[in-house]
Amino acid sequence: MQTTIIYITGVYDTLDLFTQELKNAFESMGYASFTYDARLEEVSKQALIECIGDGAKKDQRFFCVTFNNLGYNLSLPAGMTGAGMLLKQDIFQGTGGSKREGSTEKEPNLWETYEIPYINILMDHPFHYEKPLRLAPETSVVLCTDRNHVKYIRRYFKNIRQVDFLPHAGVELGNRHKLLAERGIDVLYAGALPIYTVAKMIPDLSSIPEVDGQQMAGDVLAERGEAAQGPGSRQTQGDQGVGQGSDIPDKRVQEIIVQMRFIDSYATSFFREQAVRILVENGIRVTAYGTGWDQCEWSGSPYLDYRGKVLAPEILPFMNDAKIVLNTMTWFKAGAHDRIFNGMLAKAVVVTDDSTYLRREFTDGRELVMFRRQELGTLPERVFDLFGHLEQAQEIADCGYLAAQENHTWKSRAEYLKECFLT
């Protein structure tokens, strides 16, 4: 029986890159592909309906594999529920609406109508996607990049029947990599500083009477300051500190978490800036890509080489020319980030703050270099040590490359999806 996997592209360049990697992997396994281009909604939907209709006649199977809820609300016109009823001349509504224009009748969800498993890979914390997760198709399988996110889904989204852990993966550009000694970039950081746009996310804290929003935000940010200066003991997870030891119902706790998610973005951005800043202020040249770095008060330092924003595929050649790829986690304390695996597959030395997942997968100083957030002050010394012992650094880069190539490519993730969800 032939199986066709449906992909959705045309919204975010980063997700398009991941999608193409998965598509290549699945096609190498013999799966057929259909790509829905969100930039051509009407044409894409019509073609998808015809593909499903033709496949149904041949007893084919279909799966949708997508990222960050793309296409979750694809719908059919009300009353159109059978493949035999879907005519070529029918023009369907775009992905944004759930009701047909001029009608009060709800349009049936495409994935539910045809009982197509909707495999939804989240690349960020679920609290960023409250509405699409609440309205997720009944056929949804939600995959999270952090094990704590899995717990969050299970607690707050009882409508999601299947949820699992699927870490980020890396992309390799070419198979010939320069030695570290031949590379032109000392330290590369690829990522924006959302701290300068996070103000748009701050709610009216007085509208949340159950918690002291001002104190909560102050505590988290004070903790991050402690982490940048020296030892600290606390960690902030999605729902930690909200509703703990209280009688606030789960539904309201989840609403508060969504309203307060600006704290997460602010804290993540703060630590990201501090990690780069401490290197720059210690005379280590850092090449940075992404928005916001030119707004730092220290952006005039000769050791910060800010090169603006580039598309996701465009950062890979620069990683191939970097001795060190620096990563700071997006508050994934039980997961990873694609920067880590992209850097390893570029045969750079990856230097990153740790997580429980990274500690289980790798050994500090063997496949990569890890530090704890409260040890940020030691980061310049560790980087200088790598520069001073390039042979040992090359061994780490080589070992990291082999580990990522074996277990942390999108092909590896595709094999897991095949084993667990496509059979």
Closest CA to 101 of 72, 81, 137, 77: 77
Note the pLDDT of residue 269. Answer: 85
Number of Cβ within 10 Å of residue 52's Cβ equals 20
Residue 257 belongs to domain with CATH number: 3.40.50.2000
For position 220, what pLDDT does the model report? Answer: 55
CATH assignment of the domain containing 141: 3.40.50
**Cβ(406)–Cβ(344) under 8 Å?**
no
> What would the mean pLDDT of 150-157 be, rounded to a whole number?
95
User: Does residue 129 share a domain with residue 116?
Assistant: yes
83 and 232 housed in the same domain: no
Q: Which residues pair with 368 in a beta bridge?
A: 364
CA atoms of 168 and 21, how far apart (whole Å): 12
Whether the per-residue pLDDT at 406 is higher than 70: the answer is yes
What local confidence, expressed as pLDDT, does residue 256 receive?
72
pLDDT greater than 90 at residue 254: no
The domain of 312 spans 180-407
Residue 299 lies in a domain: yes
pLDDT of residue 204: 65
Order of strands across the sheet that contains 61-67:
32-37, 3-9, 61-67, 118-121, 140-144, 162-165
Q: How confident is the model at residue 26 (pLDDT cuts 50, 70, 90)?
A: very high
CB 238 within 8 A of CB 127: yes
What confidence tens digit (pLDDT) does each residue in 119-146 have? 999 999 999 899 999 999 999 999 999 9
Question: How many other β-carbons are positioned within 10 Å of the β-carbon of residue 365?
Answer: 13
Give the pLDDT mean for 364-371: 97
Any domain includes 175: no
pLDDT band with cut points at 50, 70 and 90 for residue 53: very high
pLDDT at residue number 87? 32
Q: Specify if 334 maps to a domain.
A: yes
- Going by pLDDT thresholds of 50, 70 and 90, the confidence category of residue 232 is very low
Burial class (CB in 10 A: 0-12, 13-18, 19+), 285: middle
Query: Is residue 349 situated within a structural domain?
Result: yes
Query: What is the band of 218 on the pLDDT scale with cuts at 50, 70, 90?
Result: low
pLDDT band (50, 70, 90) for residue 215: low
Same domain, 139 and 88: yes
pLDDT digits 0-9 by tens, 169-205: 999 998 899 999 999 999 999 999 866 666 666 666 6
Task: Please report the DSSP string for 183-239 in residue order.
Answer: -SEEEEEE---GGGTGGGG---GGG-TTS-HHHHHHHHHHHHHHHHHS-------TT
Q: Kindly tell me if the per-residue pLDDT of 92 is higher than 50.
A: no
pLDDT at residue 270, as a whole number: 87
> At 399, is the secondary structure helix, strand, or coil?
helix
Mean pLDDT is lowest, of 92-96, 177-181, 348-352, 417-421, for 92-96
Do 198 and 337 fall within a single domain? yes
- How many Cβ atoms are within 10 Å of 216's Cβ, its own excluded? 18
Which residue would you say has higher pLDDT here, 359 or 199? 359
Could you give the maximum distance between any two Cα atoms of the chain, in Å?
70
Q: Are residues 214 and 351 in the same domain?
A: yes
Contact (Cβ atoms closer than 8 angstroms) between residue 353 and residue 370: yes
Look at residue 266 in the predicted model and tell me its pLDDT.
77
Q: Are residue 37 and residue 87 in the same domain, yes or no?
A: yes
Three-state SS at 304: strand
pLDDT of 97 above 60: no
- At residue 245, the pLDDT reads 46
Does some domain include residue 20? yes
* Whole-number pLDDT of residue 331: 72
In-domain check, residue 174: no
Strand partners, 189: 288
- Per-residue confidence (pLDDT) for residue 46, from 0 to 100: 93
Same-domain check for residues 104 and 199:
no
Judge whether residue 33 has pLDDT over 70: yes
pLDDT for res 198: 63
Per the structure, the count of domains in the chain is: 2
Does 191 lie in the same domain as 45?
no
My answer on whether 46 and 24 are in the same domain is: yes
Please state the φ and ψ torsions of residue 118, each to the nearest 5 degrees.
-110, 95
- Can you tell me the mean pLDDT for 267-288? 94
120 within 8 A of 72, measured Cβ to Cβ: yes
User: Does residue 331 lie within any of the structural domains?
Assistant: yes
Whether 165 and 257 share a structural domain: no
User: Could you give the percent of the chain with pLDDT greater than 90?
Assistant: 69
> Does 194 share its domain with 160?
no
pLDDT of residue 201: 61
d(CA 210, CA 257): 12
Determine which helix (DSSP H) or strand (DSSP E) holds 7, and give its type and residue range: strand 3-9
* DSSP-derived pairing of the beta strands 140-144 and 118-121: parallel
**Number of C-alpha atoms within 13 angstroms, CB side, residue 5?**
24
Q: Is residue 280 part of a domain?
A: yes
Check: CB of residue 124 under 8 Å from CB of residue 143: no
Residue 308: band (very low, low, confident or very high) from pLDDT cuts 50, 70, 90: very high
pLDDT tens digits along 78-89:
555 544 333 322
Q: What is the DSSP letter of 106?
A: B
What per-residue confidence (pLDDT) applies to 223? 54
The highest-confidence range among 86-95, 257-266, 369-378, 403-412, by mean pLDDT, is 403-412
Asked if 146 and 185 sit in the same domain, the reply is no
Count of residues in the chain:
423
